[in-house]
Amino acid sequence: MRLTVFSTVLAVLSLLAPSLIRAEEVMIKPDVVYGHKFGLATTFDVFTPAQNANGAAVLFMVSGGWYSSWSPPEQIQPRFKPLTDQGFTVFAVRHGSSPRFSIAEAVADVRRSVRFIRLNAEAYQVDPDRIGVFGMSAGGHLSLMLGTASDEGNADSKDPVDQVSDRVQAVVAYVAPTDLRIMAMDAPDRLAAYQRFPALEIDANTAEPDSPIVHVTPDDAPTLLLAGAKDELVPISHSRKILVAFEKANVETKLIEFENAGHGFGGEDAKQATDAMVDWFVTHLTEKP
């Protein structure tokens, strides 16, 4: 998941101060700190269209195998161009990485990122009620957790960030694990490939709270699923089963299956997936007349 989905790992060529940078038609604000733990900062980069921003935010979960890597933001900016060209402000969200941090801690991190962005929506010139999220593989899993297991915040918390909702209004999940219980160490049909991922050194009981499929309810965000029929790492059954759960709960959902794709898309499949992702966010996050 870490290597196949997040494409190639970009070399770290420079360190960037958290100031505003202009990259063609996009303003980049790198390394915004949205939280701290164990003396470490959790951060995101912001990509804002220089013109014609539509006021909606789309968060990208920087995660493969629940490992979150840093790359120079001006180098990853082109992957967000289909969204920024449509006026979306994109946030590339990093979380505490495996093996130091667990899947549960990664979920907590990205939930905090939504709260932080909503709390500071005015500063980023985005609508706090128009937030979408997408990701690939582990990033898709984290996106689904935001779509299914979010809350309205804790009004009694002393931390103003924790008082804010972490709900999102639209989700796109690429090749996403939806039931971690069948990936856990004690799962009877666990795939051998999962031994390569320290984050999955968990039992089924530990896995259950972070399995999106167990959290599906009628108030979940509209969700687009993109999956490869030949995926041998996260079988397409993950997407098919949560599709059924969404449909039973009357959640707006759609699954696009790519017949010849595995764990990741290339060529025409990649273009079709990107177009579908952008269309989903345009439909669910742009203001209606």
DSSP state of 219: T
174-228, pLDDT tens digit by residue? Answer: 999 999 999 999 999 999 999 999 999 999 999 999 999 999 999 999 999 999 9
For position 23, what pLDDT does the model report?
Answer: 52
The residue ranges of the chain whose pLDDT is under 50 are: 2-18, 289
pLDDT of residue 151: 96
User: How far from the centroid of its chain's Cα atoms is residue 90's Cα?
Assistant: 11
C-beta neighbour count of 191 within 10 angstroms: 14
Query: Would you state the pLDDT for residue 153?
Result: 97
DSSP letters for 81-100: HHHHTTT-EEEEEE-PPTTT
Spatial contact of 168 and 212, defined as CB atoms under 8 Å apart: no
The tokens for 211 are 């399995």
Q: Contact, 149 vs 94, CB < 8 A?
A: no
pLDDT of residue 10: 34
Q: Give the span between the Cα atoms of 62 and 72, in whole angstroms.
A: 13
Rounded Cα gap, residues 193 and 232, in angstroms: 9
The reply to whether omega before 99 is within 30° of 0 (cis) is yes
DSSP string covering 127-144: -TT-EEEEEETHHHHHHH
Condensed to tens digits (0 to 9), the pLDDT of residues 52-77 reads 999 999 999 999 999 999 999 999 99
Helices 103-119 and 138-148, interaxial angle, to 10°? Answer: 60
Global pTM exceeds 0.85: yes
3-class DSSP state for residue 34?
A: strand
Q: What CA–CA distance (Å, rounded) separates 284 from 91?
A: 18
Identify the pLDDT of residue 25.
86
Of the candidates 18, 262, 284, which has an alpha carbon nearest to the alpha carbon of residue 136?
262
Backbone angles phi, psi at 259, to 5 degrees: -60, -40
Mapped onto helix, strand or coil, the DSSP state of residue 174 is strand
The answer to whether 142 and 95 have CB atoms below 8 angstroms apart is yes
Of the candidates 48, 6, 8, 43, the one whose C-alpha atom is nearest the C-alpha of residue 28 is 48
Beta pairing partners, 228: 258
